[in-house]
């Protein structure tokens, strides 16, 4: 009897030790921008909320500045289980779905309020599922903002871009957009943009204010034209394998924390864009060019044929639904 009691005690102690030492689940969140951007701040807010609420079960490690993966590798890494969350730009999902290309169409959204309306609409929410068949789960949209065009010479009308090399994200829509103005688009990773600009291997780029400022692109681009011609927003994604493998209660807690972190990121994105724009002007390193309505219309006329070009791939209904968000 004494032997039996001792055996039971030993097993109980061992189990207890095992439970006590069960390591928390680690969510690695990988992204490519700086910490002082809407995405950088959102990721840190997510870490804070998760660890505050379920820190004994889950930890979040945030890897900014392409420290862990660039956007060209991160989704593959996610499917292999090497990273659990990321928020690539909507321009970077082309290999997984053509539907999200709707967000790249130039001059489609009048402002960020229209973008927000579309993302929160039934159609926008359905698009979060467009990656499911490829093993990825869209968890929400995050704003950065509208893109501006920068170059080593002033860009006022489309003819000014002719023959110039522009870095673009990995999107065929963005490639077509620059081809429409006879420029030379080059798909390059975000981590290489500063050096490419600094060494003049390329002439220009398109970026939202927070990316220009946080990565100091304005120090190597003497002119930034305020075109607001396109969108740079994100989708926060995870893998179906990771997400569905979580206990239901924990998944609910993590999603709640993420929704709150995204709401925070979206709320600060507008103020951040305005502040970074002003900081660039104040730095005196780059001239911010405000174009006239007539000049802007020339860019619209030159780039809009891209819509027709991608209508079949994206779907005319989807383009119409996005356009309706302007009303
Ligand atoms: C880019 O590659 O320009 C952007 O996707 C970077 C980012 O995440 O904002």
pTM exceeding 0.90: yes
Residue 218 neighbours by CB under 8 Å, 6+ apart: 150, 212, 224, 280, 283, 285, 286
Q: Which residues of 107-136 are buried (b: 16+ CB within 10 A; e: fewer)?
A: bbbeebebbbbbbeeebbeebbebbeeeeb
> Is the minimum distance from the CB of 264 to ligand 1 under 6 angstroms?
no
Q: Output the CA 72–ligand 1 centroid distance in Å.
A: 11
Segment 302-323 shows an average pLDDT of 98
Residue 168 neighbours by CB under 8 Å, 6+ apart: 174, 175, 178, 185, 186, 187, 188, 206
Q: For position 15, what pLDDT does the model report?
A: 47
Q: For position 21, what pLDDT does the model report?
A: 58
Q: Output the CA 103–ligand 1 centroid distance in Å.
A: 14
Q: Output the CA 143–ligand 1 centroid distance in Å.
A: 12
Q: For position 22, what pLDDT does the model report?
A: 78
Q: For position 5, what pLDDT does the model report?
A: 54
Atom 5, ligand 1: residue with shortest CA distance? 89
Share of the chain above pLDDT 70, in %: 94
Judge whether 208 and 100 are in contact, CB under 8 Å.
Answer: no
Q: What is the largest CA-CA distance in the chain?
A: 95
Over 70: is that where the pLDDT of 14 sits? no
For the chain, the average pLDDT equals 95
Q: Cα(287)–Cα(297) distance, rounded to whole angstroms?
A: 21
What's the token pair of residue 248?
């239901």
Q: Output the CA 226–ligand 1 centroid distance in Å.
A: 18
Locate the ligand 1 atom nearest the alpha carbon of residue 91 and give its number.
5
Q: Output the CA 208–ligand 1 centroid distance in Å.
A: 9
> Is the minimum distance from the CB of 258 to ligand 1 under 6 angstroms?
no
Q: For position 2, what pLDDT does the model report?
A: 54
Q: For position 18, what pLDDT does the model report?
A: 47
Over 90: is that where the pLDDT of 105 sits? yes
pLDDT digits (tens, 9 = 90+) for 235-254: 999 999 999 999 999 999 99
3-state secondary structure the chain: CHHHHHHHHHHHHHHHHHHHHCCCEEEEEECCCCCCCHHHHHHHHHHHHHHHHHCCCEEEEEECCCCCCCHHHHHHHHHCCCCCEECCEHHHCCCCCCHHHHHHCCCCCCCHHHHHHHHHCHHHHHHCCCCHHHCEEEEEEEEEEEEEEEECCCCCCHHHHCCCEEEECCCHHHHHHHHCCCCEEEECCHHHHHHHHHCCCCCEEEEEHHHHHHCCHHHCCCEEEEEEEEEEEEEEEEEHHHHHHCCHHHHHHHHHHHHHHHHHHHHHHHHHHHHHHHHHHHHCCCEEECCCHHHHHHHHHHHCHHHHHCHHHHCHHHHHHHHHCCC
Segment 88-109 shows an average pLDDT of 98
Q: Output the CA 236–ligand 1 centroid distance in Å.
A: 13
> Is the minimum distance from the CB of 169 to ligand 1 under 6 angstroms?
yes
Give the mutation target among 69, 214, 232 for probing the ligand 1 site: most ligand atoms within 8 A of CB.
232
Q: Cα(252)–Cα(50) distance, rounded to whole angstroms?
A: 11
pLDDT digits (tens, 9 = 90+) for 123-160: 999 999 999 999 999 999 999 999 999 999 999 999 99
Give the mutation target among 211, 214, 237, 273 for probing the ligand 1 site: most ligand atoms within 8 A of CB.
211
Segment 292-308 shows an average pLDDT of 98
Q: Cα(126)–Cα(223) distance, rounded to whole angstroms?
A: 39
Q: Output the CA 19–ligand 1 centroid distance in Å.
A: 41
Locate the ligand 1 atom nearest the alpha carbon of residue 169 and give its number.
2
Over 60: is that where the pLDDT of 28 sits? yes
Looking at the chain, how many residues does it have?
A: 327
Q: For position 7, what pLDDT does the model report?
A: 53
pLDDT digits (tens, 9 = 90+) for 178-235: 999 999 999 999 999 999 999 999 999 999 999 999 999 999 999 999 999 999 999 9
pLDDT digits (tens, 9 = 90+) for 50-85: 999 999 999 999 999 999 999 989 999 999 999 999
């Amino acid at each position: 009897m004494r032997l039996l009691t001792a055996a039971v005690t030993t097993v109980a102690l061992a189990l207890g030790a095992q439970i006590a030492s069960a390591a928390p689940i680690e969510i690695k969140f990988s992204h490519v921008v700086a910490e002082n951007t809407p995405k950088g701040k959102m990721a840190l807010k997510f870490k804070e909320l998760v660890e505050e609420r379920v820190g004994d079960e889950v930890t979040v490690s945030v890897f900014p500045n392409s420290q862990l993966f660039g956007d060209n590798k991160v989704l593959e890494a996610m499917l292999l289980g090497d990273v659990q969350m990321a928020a690539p730009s909507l321009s970077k999902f082309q290999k997984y779905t053509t539907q999200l290309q709707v967000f790249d169409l130039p001059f489609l959204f009048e402002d960020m309020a229209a973008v927000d309306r579309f993302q929160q609409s039934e159609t926008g929410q359905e698009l979060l599922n467009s990656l499911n068949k490829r093993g990825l789960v869209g968890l929400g949209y995050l704003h950065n903002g509208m893109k501006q065009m920068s170059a080593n010479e002033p860009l006022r009308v489309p003819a000014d871009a002719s023959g110039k090399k522009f870095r673009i994200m990995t999107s065929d829509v963005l490639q077509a957009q620059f081809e429409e103005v006879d420029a030379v688009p080059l798909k390059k990773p975000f981590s290489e943009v500063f050096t490419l600009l600094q060494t003049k291997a390329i002439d220009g780029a398109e970026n939202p204010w927070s990316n220009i400022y946080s990565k100091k692109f304005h120090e190597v681009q003497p002119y930034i034209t305020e075109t607001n011609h396109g969108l740079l927003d994100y989708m926060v994604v995870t893998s179906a394998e990771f997400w569905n493998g979580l206990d239901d209660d924990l998944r609910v807690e993590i999603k709640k924390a993420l929704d709150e972190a995204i709401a925070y990121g979206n709320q600060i994105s507008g103020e951040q864009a305005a502040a970074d724009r002003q900081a660039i002007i104040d730095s005196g390193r780059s001239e911010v060019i405000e174009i006239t309505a007539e000049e802007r219309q020339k860019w619209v006329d030159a780039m809009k044929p891209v819509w027709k070009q991608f209508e079949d791939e994206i779907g005319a209904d989807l383009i119409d639904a996005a356009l309706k968000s302007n009303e």
